[in-house]
């Protein structure tokens, strides 16, 4: 994975047809997505239960772009090797998921993955600054994690703007997860984000048999974001 700050659209397969993941992934990639976002939830750290390492391993052969695995689980450390072995390119852990975030990030990189750090809406940036040299991505949650389809939390725009200033010229992606649409995407791009996770905003209106709406949705989000992207 080479680093750049161009806008990247990362559809969340949480909004895909669960019975058809392989073809859904191939469809969104064919229609122009940049990354594939996989939301892992444990029913404990967040109030939902989704996928484990076997599912990640099963869909890996279908992903030709970047497998972006978001671990909404606690504890994180015991599962890092399993998700890395399953084929994740990026493993993102939550700052709130445990007391030893630095060690978690070391373990992710040690397992051969890019290291992401996710922040819930109520979490500030004070603890992030001393971790910047350990991470490749910061995922700012613009909804409370656990479910798709929630409304965008506008207070996170200023957080992203501050985060972008804090990152400076470090090669760290800013990813936004939650409530991304063609209306909210430009708000986050203008603040400094470059990776936009979108679930229902990508998958609405399309299917494996009719994937064209996926492409139209991806292009609409990308064009809206690119029009205002911050440097």
Say whether 39 is catalytic: yes
Q: What are the structure tokens assigned to 48, written together?
A: 């939902």
- Please classify residue 189 by burial: count the beta carbons closer than 10 Å to its beta carbon, then call 0-12 exposed, 13-18 middle and 19+ buried: buried
Of the residues 34, 42, 136, 177, which is catalytic?
177
Residues 6 or more apart in contact with residue 155 via CB below 8 angstroms: 121
Within 13 Å, how many C-alpha atoms sit on residue 9's CB side?
31
Q: What are φ and ψ of residue 125, in 5° steps?
A: -95, 0
**Cα–Cα distances in Å, from 223 out to 27, 133, 226?**
20, 31, 5
Q: How far apart are CA 170 and CA 49, in angstroms?
A: 34
Of the residues 39, 42, 68, 89, which is catalytic?
39
Say whether 136 is catalytic: no
Q: Please identify every residue annotated as catalytic.
A: 39, 177
């Amino acid at each position: 994975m080479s680093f750049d700050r161009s806008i990247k659209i990362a559809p969340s397969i949480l909004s895909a047809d669960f019975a058809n993941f392989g073809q859904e992934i191939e469809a969104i990639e064919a229609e122009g997505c940049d990354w594939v976002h996989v939301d892992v939830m444990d029913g404990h750290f967040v109030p939902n239960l989704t996928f484990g390492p076997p599912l990640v391993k099963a869909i890996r052969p279908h992903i030709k772009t970047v497998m972006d695995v978001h671990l909404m689980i606690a504890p994180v450390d015991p599962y890092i090797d399993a998700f890395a072995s399953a084929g994740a390119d990026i493993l993102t852990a939550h700052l709130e998921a445990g007391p030893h975030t630095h060690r978690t990030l070391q373990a992710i990189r040690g397992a051969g993955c890019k290291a992401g750090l996710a922040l819930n809406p109520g979490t500030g940036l004070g603890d992030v600054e001393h971790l910047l040299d350990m991470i490749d991505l910061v995922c700012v949650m613009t909804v409370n994690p656990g479910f798709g389809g929630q409304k965008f939390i506008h207070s996170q725009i200023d957080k992203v703007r501050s985060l972008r200033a804090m990152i400076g010229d470090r090669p760290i992606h800013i990813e936004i997860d939650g409530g991304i649409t063609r209306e909210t995407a430009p708000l986050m791009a203008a603040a400094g984000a470059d990776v936009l996770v979108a679930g229902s905003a990508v998958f609405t209106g399309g299917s494996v048999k009719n994937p064209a709406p996926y492409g139209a949705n991806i292009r609409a989000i990308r064009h809206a974001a690119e029009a205002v992207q911050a440097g």
